[in-house]
Structure 1
């Protein structure tokens, strides 16, 4: 390993920052909650719950319907992540499937899956992409940056200045 090769810490920091950028450009939490909501809706009708020596089986005649709803919710959650342009459609479909899961699949996965999917659908509809591009509010990007100033000068609010070779935004 040479002195110029990035260490493990630098690689982890790089991937963490890339993931943060990816996560910030899409309705990440809406998709995650929708996926997590689909799992109990699909799983619980087929599960055997053991309480001590007692086995409780939640098999219903609507087991296939529960599986379909759960798989569709997971698919909609992935759609929110990878096709953010259809986030409103995915959010509305998620809310409708969550509501349908109440009578079909054991109260929507004992209300756990229902509440997670409902929250994920609402977050997907409410999410809006941020498009400031790293510029302060009110700047269009057409204006040139402020001229370099000395470190002792007073900052003007919202003006980008250069101090010691680095760019800083005065607040």
Structure 2
């Protein structure tokens, strides 16, 4: 009885191994893991899912699609090229429309699984199953490139496809870039105004770089954030005029449009309302490109300059702030 059970187990493992070798099994396994990881974060209490909004719904959809892609590679291996290519595209898009691609882990697993599925090819038929008298092979022309046989074109494309897609995603939308301020034309105050907002939502890709802006004390390095448009909720700006008095500009919502460029010397906020970070000209975000649907909450920034085609405000109010305390009188002689 023991030998019979052991023999059955060995046969089952042998049949499974034979079945696994006829399809891109590990590529499908990676895609199933990627889909489960991307969809795991939104599968939380309803209050968390509602807070995630469109990103949570997109994570569920992309996660289910990647799991289905993995099952297709298992049970329909002849669709590997189509499924693998679209799995890589979905994995790259998950970084932009979900919770950063499952915090990068799901995106990387999906890219690896899709590329492996696209590049997989069935092995050669065993000699025992080959025909008794195979047909003669046609004459083969000499290969002009000896290294082409070792690297078939579809495998090279599978390796390069994820990097091409990532590079395409990192390129911002084409459009005229507002030039940096020309020394002498715009004078930035010595002390940049302080801006606070409860939610900063850029529209389109956000590109970060570093430039020098002119001030009364000479050039000063600043972060330059370029985007198509932006919305700032509960906008508060505090600045000082030439006499030192504080001025306050408040708005329930400030909307900037027409190729927005922000010159900031410091930016602090919570990305997606979760990860709180501080950025300076010496500490730019990595990578210096933020995809759409990425927002920040509880933002505090030192704003040196703003360039925008249009500005719209709701509930705008301008009022004097607190005046600085007068210096103490000198003691009597």
With normalisation by structure 1, the TM-score equals 0.69
2:31 maps to which residue? 34
Q: Secondary structure at the match of 2:94?
A: helix
1:95 maps to which residue? 88
Matched, 1:112 2:109: no
What is the rounded CA distance, in whole Å, between the counterparts of 1:44 and 1:25 in structure 2? 34
Matched, 1:10 2:3: no
Instruction: Tell me if structure 2 keeps the 8 A contact 1:45–1:105.
Output: no
More strand by share: 2
What is the rounded CA distance, in whole Å, between the counterparts of 2:81 and 2:36 in structure 1? 22
What is the rounded CA distance, in whole Å, between the counterparts of 1:128 and 1:37 in structure 2? 22
Aligned length: 129
What is the rounded CA distance, in whole Å, between the counterparts of 1:98 and 1:71 in structure 2? 12
Q: For the aligned residues, what is the CA RMSD? A: 2.2
Query: Which of residues 142, 147, 163 is equivalent to 2:133?
Result: 142
Q: Deviations over 1:41-67 (max 9, x none)?
A: 11113337xxxxxxxx57411211110
- The structural deviation recorded for 1:121 is 0.3
2:221 maps to which residue? none
What is the rounded CA distance, in whole Å, between the counterparts of 2:64 and 2:92 in structure 1? 15
Matched, 1:65 2:58: yes
More helix by share: 1
With normalisation by structure 2, the TM-score equals 0.36
Q: Secondary structure at the match of 2:125?
A: coil
- The structural deviation recorded for 1:106 is 1.2
Taking structure 1 as reference, are residues 134 and 107 closer, same or farther at Cα in structure 2, changes over 3 Å only?
Answer: farther
Larger Rg: 2
- The structural deviation recorded for 1:27 is 0.3
Taking structure 1 as reference, are residues 43 and 140 closer, same or farther at Cα in structure 2, changes over 3 Å only?
Answer: same
Matched, 1:75 2:68: yes
Instruction: Tell me if structure 1 keeps the 8 A contact 2:56–2:99.
Output: no
Q: Flag structure 2 segments of 5+ consecutive residues without an equivalent.
A: 135-333
- The structural deviation recorded for 1:103 is 1.4
Taking structure 1 as reference, are residues 36 and 11 closer, same or farther at Cα in structure 2, changes over 3 Å only?
Answer: same
Q: Flag structure 1 segments of 5+ consecutive residues without an equivalent.
A: 49-56, 144-171
Runs of 4+, deviation exceeding 3 Å? none
